[in-house]
Amino acid sequence: MGTILKESARSTIISYIGIVVSFISAVLIMPKLLSPEEIGLLRVILAITGTFAGLFSLGISQLIFRTFTYYQERNGNSYYTMVLFVSILGSVLSVPFYIYIDGTKLEFDKSISDIVGTALFSTLVYLMIVSRIFYTSFEAILRMTKSVTFMSVMQNFFLKGVPILLLGLLYFDILKFDGFLIAYIFLFIVAPFIVIVYLRRKEGLKFGKFPKYSKSEKRHLLSLGSFGLLNTLAATLLLYVDTLMVNEYLKEAAVGVYVTMYLFGSVVAVPSRSLKLISGVFIVEALNENDMDKVGELNQKSGQSLLVISGAIFVLIWGNINSITGYLDPIYATGAMVVFYIGAAQLLDVYAGMSSEILSASKYYWLHTPITILTIIIAIATNIYLIPKYQVEGAAIATFISFGVLHVSRIISVIILFKISPYNVKMAMGTIILVGVVVGSIYLPSVGNIYVESLYKSTAIITVYGLLMYFTKISEDVNQLVDSYLFKFLKRK
């Protein structure tokens, strides 16, 4: 676990630098330069293209996750040709569906941008769909080659950092919003080309002849791809259903408020994404070797490590909620509770440990499909009920409920099927500390100035939380990491 934590730590450091970059872009700058309607338009485009990519990637990421080690070693470059073929096929199949949706269902406020509703806009959105299909495919290869650091660079510097430069051009009137929108979409269009070039140079990726498979192998691959398609589609819908439904009920301005506040809560998930990307590969290897002790150890230790790290982020964010709403324009204050519910929803993933990865790597991978479909049904139903009643806060509550159903279902499945649980006494102790610090932060007095208040609250919260987690040894891996860097720092002194 120490090796995994070190690799994920590098990725997490990059991710958090990216979070700072994203924070500067999406929270400090974007709400000051763009209207909520313009921000909402950007996010709805991301949601639509992401949903299409989830469907028409045809389950390739799940297929790669389960077959890469065996078939890539056997087929070599031919395996990459199969991945390329599936990506092209998905892009072609998406054409009639996109034409139908674009002509009948996509209704954007044309007053937001002059290019909305034009042939140029429709073409750019479709190219963005295609690019995200290819990006999904080759990002999965990055994951299996354990190139997690480069994945973090792409996500956190290219796709989140470059928009700051575009916002700078917008600020100096070099770009208008229409130009910014086109350039923003173009970033996603070129992203898969960068990934492919990297794989060619670092991993020797080449495209050979299309691989030959026996009838039984074709049935096996088709089965994996089919379940992967259903699972990826359901997971994608779960990711974007709240944004799409907020837009349906409340329109682009509300989406702008919702996604801006959502960003604060979503920061809690960064350590989880980084650690699970690399841990998932080791889960596959352990299950292939039938080493259930190692699987159980990874499951528990990942949960403990994430509880310490993600919990720290949650208490810092929620402890500074008054400073957050004080900085933003008053319209964003209506989404304050969005931060709490989304942050809490991300913590549910922490308590699930490696349940999702264990199911994905096992013969019970198909369970993801009914679990995620059930979650989608609940997500849609709760959004339909809660958004009209509680506005953007209702969407956040619906997300929390649906995430709860998703993770509890996975946890129960892993416990029943593998007799593996992410819980132990340390998880309970860590939870008590987390809840205690969150409650205690509520009673910290305000000082008037939001910047001074944020500084003193952050210092007080992280000091108390960090010392309690460290001396109770909730995560031995985190303690070792802290000791390692602390000793290096002290030696320099």
pLDDT tier for residue 200 given thresholds of 50, 70 and 90: confident
Tell whether the model's pLDDT for residue 311 goes beyond 70.
yes
Q: What is the pLDDT of residue 2?
A: 47
Token representation of residue 157? 């510097």
DSSP state of 158: I
- Distance (Å) of CA 373 to CA 221, 231, 235, 237, 361: 22, 8, 8, 9, 19
Distance CA 356, CA 375 (A): 14
Tell whether the model's pLDDT for residue 47 goes beyond 80.
yes
- In the Cβ-directed half-sphere of 230, how many Cα atoms lie within 13 Å? 16
Q: What is the pLDDT of residue 16?
A: 62
Q: What is the pLDDT of residue 398?
A: 94
Distance CA 177, CA 162 (A): 16
∠ CA 487-478-362, nearest 5°, is 145
DSSP result, 28-81: IIHHHHS-HHHHHHHHHHHHHHHHHHHHHTTTHHHHHHHHIIIIIHHHTHHHHH
- In the Cβ-directed half-sphere of 39, how many Cα atoms lie within 13 Å? 24
Q: What is the pLDDT of residue 8?
A: 53
Instruction: Count, in order, helices (H) and strands (E) of the chain.
Output: 20, 0
∠ CA 208-212-215, nearest 5°, is 160
Better pLDDT: 57 or 130: 130
Distance CA 217, CA 191 (A): 32
Q: What is the pLDDT of residue 362?
A: 80
| Furthest C-alpha separation in the chain | 71
**Residue 387's CB: how many other CB atoms inside 10 A?**
24
Report the range of poorest mean pLDDT among 62-71, 314-323, 354-363, 383-392.
Answer: 62-71
Distance CA 202, CA 418 (A): 37
Distance CA 77, CA 211 (A): 9
Q: What is the pLDDT of residue 278?
A: 66
DSSP result, 305-372: HHHHHHHHHHHHHHHTHHHHHHHS-GGGGGGHHHHHHHHHHHHHHHHTTTHHHHHHHSTTGGGHHHHH
Helix axis angle, 336-351 to 270-288, nearest 10°: 20
Token representation of residue 155? 């996500």
- In the predicted model, what is the mean pLDDT of the chain? 82
Beta-carbon contacts of residue 34 (< 8 Å; ≥ 6 apart): 42, 170, 177, 256
Place of tokens 């199949």: 93
Do 307 and 352 contact (CB within 8 A), yes or no?
A: no
Q: What is the pLDDT of residue 18?
A: 67
Token representation of residue 132? 């995200």
Place of tokens 């299996």: 144
Better pLDDT: 435 or 373: 435
- Tell how far CA 129 is from the center of its chain: 18
Distance CA 5, CA 475 (A): 11
Burial label, 463 (beta-carbon count in 10 A; 0-12, 13-18, 19+): exposed
Residues 165-184: pLDDT tens digits? 888 888 888 888 899 999 99
- Tell how far CA 69 is from the center of its chain: 24
- In the Cβ-directed half-sphere of 102, how many Cα atoms lie within 13 Å? 21
Tell whether the model's pLDDT for residue 308 goes beyond 50.
yes
Q: What is the pLDDT of residue 293?
A: 80
Token representation of residue 489? 């720092």
Token representation of residue 331? 């319209």
326-363 b/e (C-beta count within 10 Å ≥ 16 → b): bbbeeebebbbbbbbbbbbbbbbbbbbbbbbbbbbbbe
Q: What is the pLDDT of residue 165?
A: 86
Place of tokens 């096992």: 362
Q: What is the pLDDT of residue 433?
A: 94
